[in-house]
Chains A and B, each alone.
Chain A
Amino acid sequence: MVTSRGFPRFLALVAAIAATMLFITSAQAQDKRDFYKVGVITSLSGAMVYGGNVTRRGYDLWEQQVNKNGGIEVGGKKYKVKLVYADAQSNPQSAADAVQRMISRDNVDFILGPYASSSTLGAAPITERYKVPMITGSAESPSIWARHFKYTFGAVPAVDRTAGEIMTVLAKQRPEIKTVSIIGMNDPFSKSTAEALRDGAKKAGFKVLSYDITPPDADMTPLISKARSLKPDVLAVGGEPNNHIAVVKAMESLSYKPKGLVMHYGVNTPDFQKAVGKAANYVIGATVWDPSLPYKDAVFGTAQNYVKLSETRYNVKPDYTQAASSAAGEAFAAALNTADLPPPLSAADKVKLVDALENVRIKTFYGTIGFEKQGPWYHDNAELKPIVTQMIDGKQVLVGPGDLGTQKIVYPQPSGQ
């Protein structure tokens, strides 16, 4: 314990700590630059590091290509971009800390947002307070948009606007599909997916035999058995790739194969493919982007070319999450160009940038980007239409809707019950 003699020494220590802190904070340089400083906040550690890295690859590829072309063109001059990173650690508090840090210390011009809705929901209130625009390249849960953040935008359409499309396409299927069972994991993204699948199924005229929400870490065999006993034509699952692995393993071990199996997201990820092997075959999913689509732009060229760029740099085939993250940067570039805002952006410039973003409507290699101005999907990308996919022999093929499909759905899947 501190005695009276020790106390002055204690105070001296306090003063020393304070002085050090003062020194660190005053070391910040004046901000005058001819490039854009872009904050990237994504989960570089924690449980969502996988998705966080997908997102980061998307942002990094955008930086690479933009700078290769000389930069973002504003008022006839080109300005390069520089990314600064912060780690959201897959939890809302760290996401908030990270955003605060990059706004106040790095004085970023705008922000490319985190993977997963919980991190986005942690970060968004801070960008709101400091009035810094953010586009999240990958968050898909509708719970973000319902909260009407003025400074947050999204490049991927919310899952409740895409997953239901699977059911619409399946409704046209012959032999006719009549019944569906749905299993959803209890996390924001998966639950929204399950709800969207349920609503889509009802709209398509299917009978929903069961709808079960389960803790993601529970054993899946009881629910699989329940679904099987109801004999649905299609079993639909809302989950992340790791949940899908658990479900498929449980199904395999019970020798159960429904006539159709729907898993909205992640069936084309390497983790899932490697873990379940052949069982990934014939799984039906949805996406908003595919390399085979005829989209293109000046930064990345065609969608095919984007795949090549990704394979060259990362040896990874991009999915729609990565593509959307790259395209998020292009939306910013377009808004900066129309609003004529050279770097660095002042506080007033950032507000102008938000107005410009609201009116952006650009065609990219990822498809069209344009944000909702009102309603339950406020500031989410409204322009992309969902495409239904099926895994066939390790490849994702497009099966609908309408002309977008290049092949017919394989249904019922071989030896499906």
Chain B
Amino acid sequence: MDLLLQTLVNGILIGGVYLIITLGFNLAFGVLGVIDFAVGEWVMLGGFTGYWLNHYLGLDPLLFLPVTFVVFVIVGALVYPMLARLLKGRQHARLLMVFVFTFGLSTLLKGGALTAWGFNQRAMDSFFSARSVELAGVYMPQIRLVAFFFGVLITVAVAWMLYRTRFGLSVRAVAQDEGKARLMGVNTNRVAALVYALYAGLTGMAGVLIGVIYTVTPQMGVQYTIFAFFIAVLAGLGYVPGVLLAALLLGLIQAFVAVYIGSAYSLLIVFLSLYLILLVAPRGILNRGRA
């Protein structure tokens, strides 16, 4: 019974990790149609930002979340014009060209990080590391709780921004029909750039949290890219509340398979179920995403 509850908690908290990496990504995917292969690389670079700041300044890495956010918003704003150029191109399959562009970007960033920092793993500790909250025999790692609530908070904030603000209205308008949105007087260029910058900022922050929970290494990116892709698809593109649900679902599958079916199968079953869900419900498990 204890193990069942503990596995439930573990699964939810793994879901929290998936939530923070996918949230911004799903927004960019849904609004701009940009499938950013470099998402894992933003996570990795965010992790390194936290690591080096922590290394040189000695403060708790979580204190650098706002700085990391700002840094990556700027990075995102600098990268976006290149994507915009591709998105406006006339060639067929321009979204695929964006995909390939970000694939190149990801290769470039990974190669750069490997060249600069090598293959070593680096760990950083926060005040919340190596601490847990115990509740009736169930242990909750504090740092993962922080990540989880951070994720929920950001989800709520983004949802509020989307559905309750004027800016959100224009974002949704762009997502629905960019041409019409422009006719209605929305500065679609600016909206798109801001969405992409927001995505980069959120993902960079996720990197700091992931770096504290696990470790940072230049090679860590691709596995987060995989999960960001898959969760965004399960959630339904652009449907923010869906991300929370999909992330939890995936975390729970992983935790329960590892404990009750066999840990060797955990990733196989995760990938297999993703594939099957994708075939059955390409608009996400809630059928609310953009087709």
The B1-32 residues at the A interface (CB cut-off 8 A) are: 2-3, 6-7, 10-11, 13-14, 17
What is the CB-to-nearest-CB distance from A276 to chain B, in angstroms, rounded to a whole number? 7
Q: Taking the complex as formed, is B259 at the interface, i.e. its CB lies under 8 A from any CB of chain A?
A: yes
Within 8 A of A (CB), among B131-146: 131-132, 134, 139, 141-144
Q: How far is the CB of A176 from chain B (nearest CB, A)?
A: 26
How many angstroms between the C-alpha atoms of A226 and B266 in the bound complex?
14
In the bound complex, CA of A276 to CA of B123 (Å)? 8
CA–CA, A223 and B10, complex, Å: 10
In the complex, the chain A residue whose C-beta lies closest to that of B13 is A221
Q: Which of A234-261 contact B (CB under 8 A)?
A: 242, 245-246, 249, 252-256
With the chains together, A214 CA to B219 CA distance in Å?
A: 19
A347 contacts the other chain (CB 8 A)? no
Give 15 new A-B contacts, CB below 8 A, not counting A219-B14, A225-B7. A47-B119, A49-B119, A212-B258, A212-B262, A218-B258, A218-B263, A221-B255, A225-B3, A225-B6, A245-B121, A246-B214, A252-B130, A253-B131, A253-B143, A275-B122
Q: Which residues of B contact A183 (CB under 8 A)?
A: 263
Interface of A is mostly: helix
Distance, CA A261 to CA B214, complexed state (A): 20
CB atoms of A218 and B254 under 8 A apart: yes
Select A271's contact among B14, B121, B144, beta carbons within 8 Å. B121
A47 — which chain B residues lie within 8 A by C-beta? 119, 219
B264 touches A214 (CB 8 A): yes
The answer for the CA separation of A222 and B269 in the assembled complex, in Å, is 15
**B residues near A277, Cβ cutoff 8 Å:** 125
Interface string of B248-272 (1 = CB under 8 A from A): 0000001110110011101100000
A279 beta carbon closer than 8 Å to chain B: yes
Complex Cα distance A223/B254, Å? 11
A218 engages B214 (CB within 8 Å): no
B residues whose Cβ falls under 8 Å from a Cβ of A: 2-3, 6-7, 10-11, 13-14, 17, 118-123, 125, 129-132, 134, 139, 141-144, 213-215, 217, 219, 223, 254-256, 258-259, 262-264, 266-267
Q: Are A253 and B129 in contact (CB-based, < 8 A)?
A: yes
> Which B residues lie within 8 Å of A274 (CB)?
123
The reply to whether B141 and A221 form a contact with Cβ atoms under 8 Å apart is: yes
Judged by a CB distance under 8 angstroms, whether A76 is at the interface is: no
Q: Determine whether A403 belongs to the interface, using a CB cutoff of 8 Å to chain B.
A: no
Chain A: residues with Cβ within 8 Å of the partner, total of: 34
| Assembly CA distance A213 to B254 (angstroms) | 14
**A274 — nearest CB in chain B belongs to which residue?**
B123
A256 and B214 in contact, given A47-B219, A49-B118, A222-B263 (Cβ under 8 angstroms): no
B215–A255 CB distance below 8 A: no
Q: Is there contact, CB below 8 Å, between B121 and A275? A: yes
In the complex, what residues of B have CB within 8 A of residue A214's CB?
258, 263-264, 266
Alpha-carbon distance between A47 and B134 when the two chains are bound, in angstroms:
38
A246 adjacent to B264 (CB under 8 Å): no
In the bound complex, residues from chain B placing their C-beta under 8 Å from that of A3 are none
Q: Smallest distance from the beta carbon of A267 to chain B beta carbons, Å?
A: 14
Q: Is the CB of B14 within 8 A of A221?
A: yes
Residue of A nearest to B142 (CB): A253
User: What separation, in Å, do the CA atoms of A150 and B138 have in the docked complex?
Assistant: 55
Q: Is the Cβ of A271 less than 8 Å from the Cβ of B223?
A: no
User: Distance (Å) between the CB of B212 and the closest chain A CB?
Assistant: 9
B35 CB, min distance to chain A CBs, angstroms: 22
Within the assembled complex, what's the spacing in Å between the Cα atoms of A47 and B255? 27
With A226-B3, A274-B123 in contact, is A253–B132 under 8 Å at CB? yes
Q: In this assembly, does A186 line the interface, its C-beta being within 8 Å of a C-beta of chain B?
A: yes
Contacting B at CB under 8 A, from A175-189, are 183, 186
Bitwise interface map of A from 200 to 233 toward B, beta carbon under 8 Å scored 1, else 0? 0000000000001111011101110110010000
- For residue A254, which residues in chain B have a CB less than 8 angstroms away from its CB? 132, 139, 141
Write the nearest CB–CB distance from A266 to chain B, whole angstroms. Answer: 12
CB-based nearest A residue for B139: A254
For residue A314, CB closer than 8 A to chain B, the reply is: no
A213 to B264, Cβ gap below 8 A? yes
In the assembled complex, which residues on chain A have CB atoms less than 8 Å from the CB atom of B130? 252-253, 255, 279
Please judge, given known A-B contacts A222-B255, A279-B130, whether A229 and B267 are in contact too, CB under 8 Å: no
Task: Please report the C-alpha to C-alpha distance between residue A252 and residue B213 in the assembled complex, in whole angstroms.
Answer: 11
> Which B residues touch A218, using CB under 8 A?
254, 258, 263, 266-267
Given contacts A222-B11, A229-B6, contact A215 B264 (CB under 8 A): yes
Shortest Cβ gap from B193 to chain A (Å):
34
Report B48 CB to chain A, min CB distance, Å. 15
Decide if B139 touches A50 in the complex (CB within 8 Å). no
| Cβ contact within 8 Å between A213 and B129 | no
Which A68-88 residues have a C-beta within 8 angstroms of B?
none
